[in-house]
Amino acid sequence: MGRFLALVTAFVVTLGVATFAGAHIISAVTRPTTTTTTYSMKVGSVTRQYEVIKSSALSNSSPIIVELGGAAVDPAQEIPRDDLVPYATANDVELVYPVPIDESWNAIGCCDGAAKANVNDVGFLEALVPTIDPGHARPIYVVGYSNGGRLAYRMACTDPTLFDGMAAVKADPMPGCVVTKPENVIVFSSLNDKYVPYQPGEKGYETPPATVQIARLQTGLKCSSKPTVVKDGDMTVSTWSCADGKTLEWAVDPTGGHGFPVPTGSTPGANQLIWSLMSKTPLAPVPA
């Protein structure tokens, strides 16, 4: 009798393990996967490349974010810095990383090797967007950090209908570039950024100071005179209602210098605020 009970117990345990393993095999088979694919395209006589990160379960109506990294990096270095991949893994967004020439972007007059070689980065983005979003069927946004932010501003001035919104992270537009077409815009600044000064009279390599640029955006986007101000950890986020139902946000961190803002304690990262604005959802933790 004891031997019979032992055999029955062993069978039940084995069946349970098999069922558990089978469930995990099914889960692994059906779980969406995120892939990174590199594409090439001709822009004039130059072959340009871009990387696409998306989930196999992504909806055809999901938004697209085009990410323009800072100088002296390629997409492999920019991807972990901006930390937007969790949103692609969560089936929320398709990420597109154009590959710069000489690890820089030409925002017409700036910056580095791309400007010296007169690289047509404006033409590259104007050819890229209809390739990844034929007929402008999906919401598409551009995120630019530092040098990439200058090119994002350039696109808003040169071809204002190309993108539905823009995030400018620690960046200034080139002189004469004034954004006037209503779109959703978020700007990130630091009080101790040595490149983009916070207010007039402070030292910095770029112009205008952050406070001056925000005032220009308020005017150009036809925003309300007073913002709603929220404190998120150490970060202060001011939000204006603008023409055509659009929004201008300004996230100011007392520290962080010229770096890409990352989550620190109760202070959100730029990725969280960017996704909140572009998805029109409340600020939330980064998807696990």
Has this prediction a pTM greater than 0.85?
A: yes
Residues 49 and 153 in one domain: yes
Residue 64 has pLDDT above 70, yes or no: yes
| Domain assignment of residue 287, yes or no | no
- pLDDT at residue 9 above 80? no
In a domain, 285, yes or no: no
Contacts of 223 (CB under 8 A, 6+ apart): 217, 240, 241, 242, 243, 248
Q: Are residues 127 and 196 in the same domain?
A: yes
Q: Identity (one letter) of the amino acid at 81?
A: R
Residue 200 burial (CB count, 10 A): 10
The number of domains in the chain is 2
Is 284 part of a structural domain of the chain? no
145: Cα separation from own chain's centroid:
9
CA distance 43 to 39: 13
Burial of 6 (0-12, 13-18, 19+ CB in 10 A): exposed
Return the pLDDT at 33. 86
Paired residues of 43 in beta bridges: 46
Are both 2 and 63 inside the same structural domain?
no
In angstroms, the Cα distances linking 200 to 149, 203, 206 are: 20, 8, 11
* Same domain, residue pair 18 and 141: no
One domain for residues 16 and 62? no
Both 66 and 112 in one domain: the answer is yes
Residue 286 resides in a domain: no
φ/ψ region of 104 (left if φ > 0, alpha if ψ in -120 to 50, else beta) reads: beta
Residues 61, 4 share a domain: no
Q: Is there a single domain that holds both residue 140 and residue 1?
A: no
Do 216 and 242 fall within a single domain?
A: yes
Query: Which domain, by its residues, includes 23?
Result: 1-31
In-domain check, residue 179:
yes
Q: Give the pLDDT of residue 32.
A: 65
Structural domain includes residue 288: no
- Do residues 153 and 51 share a domain? yes
Q: Averaged over 78-104, what is the pLDDT? A: 97
- Please indicate, yes or no, if residue 74 is contained in any of the structural domains: yes
Assigned token pair, 269 = 């990262």
Residue 180 lies in a domain: yes
What average pLDDT does the structure give for the chain? 90
Reported as a pLDDT band with limits 50, 70 and 90, residue 20 is very low
> Do 1 and 89 have their domain in common?
no
**pLDDT, tens digit, 9 for 90 and up, residues 173-191:** 999 999 999 999 999 999 9
**Residue 84 belongs to domain with CATH number:** 3.40.50.1820
For residue 51, the model assigns a pLDDT of: 98
Segment 7-26 mean pLDDT: 37
Judgement on whether residues 81 and 177 belong to the same structural domain of the protein: yes
